[in-house]
Amino acid sequence: MESAEVARRFLNFFAERGHTVVPSASLIAEDPTLLLVPAGMVPFKPYFLGQRTPPSPRMTSAQKCVRTPDIEEVGKTTRHATFFQMLGNFSIGDYFKEQAIPFAWELLTRSRDDGGFGFPEEKLWVTVYTDDDEAQDLWHRGVGVPLERIQRRGLADNYWHMGVPGPGGPCSEIYYDRGPEHGREGGPVADEDRYLEVWNLVFMQKQLGTVRSKVDFDVVGDLPSRNIDTGMGLERMAAILQGVDNIYETDTLWRVLERAAELTGAKYGADHRADVSLRVIADHVRSGTMMVADGIRPGNEGRGYVLRRILRRSVRNLRLLGGQDAGLMHALTDVAIAAMGEQYPDLVRTAANIHTVIDAEEESFLQTLRTGTAIFDTAVAETRSAGAGALPGAQAFKLHDTYGFPIDLTLEMAAEQGLRVDEDGFRRLMAEQRDRAKKDAREKKTGNLDVSVLDELLTRSGGRVDFTGYGAVTGDARVVGLIIDGANVAAAGEGTEVEVVLDRTPFYAEGGGQLADHGAITFGSGARVEVRDVQTPLAGLIVHRGTVVSGEARVGDTAFAEVDVERRRAISRSHTATHMVHAGFRRALGESAAQAGSENSPGRFRFDFTASGAVPPSVLRDVEDEVNAVLIEDLDVRWFNTSIDEARAMGALALFGEKYGDEVRVVEVGDYSRELCGGTHVASSGQLGLVKVLGESSIGAGVRRVEALVGVDAFRFLARESVLVAQLAEQMKVRKEQLPERVSGIVARLREAEKELEKLRSQQVLAVAGSLADGAADLGGVAFVGHRVPDGTGADDLRKLAADVRGRLSGRPAVVMVAGVPKDRPVVVIAVSEGARERGLKAGALVGVAARTLGGGGGGKDDMAQGGGSDAAAIGDALAAVRRAVEAP
């Protein structure tokens, strides 16, 4: 039974029993404390906490999940994986144990012909919480499980909670007996390799207070309404139903693994190390594909860092298997898209965008490997010259953090050089970086608030703050909450920095690329708050940040909210212009030019999109001309709500990676542009006035950025450009249209002059080679030359001079050191002849001596090496230090 069929049967079974099928939420978690969705119940937390009204009291889903705490164990075992899918059925105050248990038993044991999974009853075991007599009775008397196949377990195994105050309760797990060849008898308590957990049924029935750990918490009392939350691992179920030994041999993962073996020539099952690499590749390619499809982009922090690490581990393991060529990730991504496309059709629809991002990251990392190897060689030389046996953790962290060099590669290459790596130091620095990234991300979203404070405000707001800003820029409201320094307060006095939550607001919170509204909130008491930022730290909660400029603001007071209209209009012009430029680029470059981010600010906007390379200037001009021609037509801009399926049927563009509910808002600019969007817009395209594209650039692997001006800002820019062009034309004594040709000629002549100067400078430097060789000092049978060149001499000339002098000393053991200051930092080059190398003198080690004296580092090969530092005044000392090192016996 294929994985897609496992999911289909599960969802159909519960749909037939009154459950609403809820599509998988994005991997990007709404919870600000989470980078990625790690469990199937995460999207349902607001319903369990009473913050939102569920679409139905009975729901079921197949949820995409990613967990990375054990990422380094992936591949080493067949149990660990990063991406997985969790099937679940949920009851919010509807049915409880008495129906959840029979539902689970029926689905598992019903024949496959009748839509079930067809498990033999005698193969199934269950566990219940220590004192949950009710669950045991339902299993035994209700569905007929013999008492000898029901086992009781404690808090660590059979009690569930969220890790924070809220709902919790006992759980019951269902296990499948894989047979004596997989382990010893005795049920799950004896051997969880033989008895494989397939389903966990959580019975939320208690209200928890303080939660200190998994097994240490306070039970406040019974929940007012009891809930059901279940989780079935799709991959694990597929392994059992497909009769394979582990998840890597199931249909979706095996297809990627098998293709990786074909591309690299590896054979799965023949070599443990190769098997580990193939499993890493299969898991990570699938994970990376799913993450990119949800709009995550490779980066150096947060979820972007998780994605980058996953993709780069894939490339690294391909290389370990002998796959050196670019393009391997493209082929494997194709397989992952085909394998998962039946369950997630959007993968097929956005395949071009997924490829663009992953291909670019692969190419970027291959370049990183080339650069990083040179940096690694320098670090090894410095470590050896210092007499240490381990590469410092700070060096390994720099390789990883600055150059993207994976730690496992550093460990392997260090071992090849006979060195260890200070892994403890590396991991300490990594942990500090992760903590900083999490703190920064959390503070951006929540303003450094405790999430429990936000939860309380969301509950006070009835689960959602009403946004009225599409049709109004002012409105009456009630003050739901005030926050000062992360704590709920009853009042805020004049001069206080405060965060205000209203029950309804016309203020647009930053989101979808659109900056937040500014304005003011006037309280019934006469107090006034100047609003400078608006955020949505939790879904449905809108928080206004500002300063009390007069009076005292109080919770429960009436309020009048007023948006800065001019700012809103300017931002709305930018947002509509972004839609139009997006449409223009898709017409010019094709569907692969998908929006990957934007920022709409007053009079200016930037638009990020996926692309494999730079956009030609001619395309930029064509898009700009086309968009401005559409503005002249003054097309109506309209918006309306509809279903996601209907929106796609009419051709509305769903932005790559954005999260959408069942009902979506469609924004149309005539017939030119149609997108799903929650932002604010102008009434007609003519209100934009003018769009001026400033240029484009790369902001990361596979992503380009266009910046542009709109409205009055565009007019002002063109006016300044016109004055500047006129001034240049006057200085050059040519007409405006002749300026490019005149400037091009001047630049060409300047470059020729610079080449001539560089040639003369090089000749002057090299002219002293003969006299330097003639004047070489004899240091115990080694000819030594130490020379400082004039400041400004290029590093290339230093290397040429050192090599030339060494050549003139051929036949003799010789060490040549040339130092100078090419720009603002000292550089030293050392060349060592073969005879000197036979005496144990190595250029890399000697450069290390000089570079440390200069306050820097360096390295290279035994015959020639280069280093540098920061203290140009120490060049004389560096020359002396190297001379002493050559003299030393």
Cα separation, 49 vs 30, whole angstroms = 15
Annotated binding residue 65: no
Query: 208: which residues sit within 8 A by CB, 6+ positions away?
Result: 161, 165, 166, 167, 168, 217, 218, 219, 220
Residue that the structure tokens 């004039």 belong to: 790
Q: In what helix (H) or strand (E) does residue 868 lie, and over which residues does it extend? A: strand 864-868
Residue 477 structure tokens: 């409201």
Structural contact between residues 869 and 856, judged by C-beta atoms closer than 8 angstroms: yes
Annotated binding residue 171: no
Annotated binding residue 677: yes
Alpha helices in 601-693 (DSSP H): 617-632, 644-649
Residue that the structure tokens 């209200």 belong to: 207
Structural contact between residues 336 and 344, judged by C-beta atoms closer than 8 angstroms: no
Structural contact between residues 601 and 625, judged by C-beta atoms closer than 8 angstroms: no
Which has the closest alpha carbon to 529: 508, 507, 509, 551? Answer: 551
Cα separation, 426 vs 647, whole angstroms = 49
Neighbouring CB atoms inside 10 A of 158's CB total 21
Cα separation, 185 vs 182, whole angstroms = 10
Which has the closest alpha carbon to 242: 251, 234, 231, 233? Answer: 251
Which has the closest alpha carbon to 453: 339, 543, 333? Answer: 543
Radius of gyration for the chain, computed over Cα atoms and rounded to the nearest angstrom:
33
Query: 252: which residues sit within 8 A by CB, 6+ positions away?
Result: 3, 235, 238, 286, 336, 339, 340
Expressed in angstroms, the distance from the first to the final Cα of the chain is 75
Cα separation, 489 vs 498, whole angstroms = 10
Q: Which residues of 738-772 are buried (b: 16+ CB within 10 A; e: fewer)?
A: eeeebeeeeeeeeeeeeeeeeeebbeebeeebeeb
| Measured CA distances, 323 to 263, 277, 318, 319 (Å) | 7, 11, 5, 5
Structural contact between residues 817 and 779, judged by C-beta atoms closer than 8 angstroms: no
Cα separation, 808 vs 92, whole angstroms = 87
Q: In what helix (H) or strand (E) does residue 96 lie, and over which residues does it extend? A: none
Q: In what helix (H) or strand (E) does residue 787 lie, and over which residues does it extend? A: strand 782-788
Chain centre to alpha carbon of residue 473: 35
Which has the closest alpha carbon to 818: 837, 834, 832, 808? Answer: 832
Residue 646 structure tokens: 């209907």
Annotated binding residue 579: yes
Q: Amino acid identity of 59?
A: M
Cα separation, 16 vs 103, whole angstroms = 11
Cα separation, 353 vs 686, whole angstroms = 31
DSSP state at residue 465: P
Give the CA dihedral 551, 552, 558, 559, nearest 10 degrees: 60
Alpha helices in 171-298 (DSSP H): 234-241, 251-264, 272-293
Which residues are annotated binding-site positions? Answer: 575, 579, 677, 681
Which residues are annotated binding-site positions for Zn(2+)? Answer: 575, 579, 677, 681
